[in-house]
A and B are shown apart, each in its own frame.
Chain A
Amino acid sequence: MKYIHTKPDGSVTLTMFAAKELIMRDLKLKTMTDAEYEEFCLNRLKQESPADTGHTKLADDYVLPDLEYFNAWVQKGQALDYDLVKAKNIALTNLRAKRDPLMAKYDGLQSRAVDLEDATEIAKVKIFKAELRGATDALKALTPLSIEDIKNATPDLSVY
């Protein structure tokens, strides 16, 4: 059973409860109805997060937003959505984290190519480095209207 709730700072918490049978075992209960289990979960949730608001049970088939952008999740009524400004910043941070080691790698390759006076390699590395430097340009310029806009503007750096 999954619940969402919102902390006073506006961020979301996603809570997953253990199955009813496990709760029964841990509490040494012989019986527990589904209604009692649900009541137990909601009571626990409110005890554990008294300052939070909007405690909402998610349907079993509810499709969660992308966990990569969890810190950009916002609760809208009984559902989840994205804070697109936060999501864009997360995408930029993640992209830079992937790009930095690649830049270091190509710096090394460039030094080696210069030492070997390999003009072809030098030119190739310069192109890769320019592409990497510009990898965040599309995202930085983006005013996203959806999470898909952000994903589409995030280049795949695994090719480098």
Chain B
Amino acid sequence: MANSAFELGSGGAGAATKAQQQTGTSTDVYVSPGTQQYHYSATQAWFLYDYFTPAILASYNVSSIAINSTGVIQINFTVSFAAANAYTISSLTGGGATTLNVQHIITQSTGNCTIGNLNSAAAVSAPTGSGYWAGALNGAQ
């Protein structure tokens, strides 16, 4: 089996391009910090948000978070996704021993998505418990 250019140290191996990262099959190029997030196994955006302060505690590729109405937040991306349906969202908020928070996606577009929090009465409401709200978004940028 032939060695890759990278293994040979021939100087022929370069950094993976965005397209190569998204294809995800090459073993002849290396990954640079600036392009690693384009691989589909990577999370393209994530956030940890304190609803009650309110403040972004930590994030990646999230330029801002807005409260649109009670229990509804809008995540605005620093770099947009390739298409409105090109990513998935997983989200959770802090609850308590007797409280329930469930999130649902209200809208999603290339530049932002809105997520609503439902309580045990199935009504949109502010998160209960800690108020911490985390989310991860995976897909194509």
Task: Give me the interface of A with B, judged by CB distance under 8 Å.
Answer: 11, 13-19, 22-23, 26-28, 41, 44-45, 48, 64, 67-68, 70-71, 97
Contacts and interface: CB of A to CB of B under 8 A. Distances in A.
Given A22-B59, A48-B112, A68-B126, A15 B66 contact: yes
Nearest to B71: A70
Q: Is the interface of B mostly helix, strand, loop or mixed?
A: strand
B63 interface: yes
Contact of B65 (A16, A26, A28, A41): A16
Contacts of B74: 13
B64 A41 contact: yes
A18 B63 contact: yes
Given A16-B55, A44-B76, A48-B111, A26 B66 contact: no
Contacts, number: 68
Interface string B49-80: 00110111001111111111110001010110
Contacts of B76: 15, 44, 48
Contacts of A18: 56, 59, 62-64, 78
Contacts of B34: 28
Interface in B19-58: 34, 51-52, 54-56
A67 B78 contact: no
B121 interface: yes
Contacts of B56: 16-19, 22
Interface of B: 34, 51-52, 54-56, 59-70, 74, 76, 78-79, 111-112, 121, 123, 126
A28 B79 CA distance: 11
Given A16-B54, A44-B64, A68-B126, A23 B78 contact: yes
B121 A17 contact: no
A16 B56 CA distance: 7
A67 B54 contact: yes
A19 B56 CA distance: 8
Q: Which 3 A-B pairs have the closest CB atoms?
A: A26-B78, A15-B66, A17-B64
The listed residue with most A CB atoms (<10 A of its CB), out of B60, B67, B79, is B67
B54 A26 contact: no
A47 to B, nearest CB: 8
Contacts of A64: 54
A17 B63 contact: yes
A48 B113 CA distance: 11
Contacts of A97: 121, 123
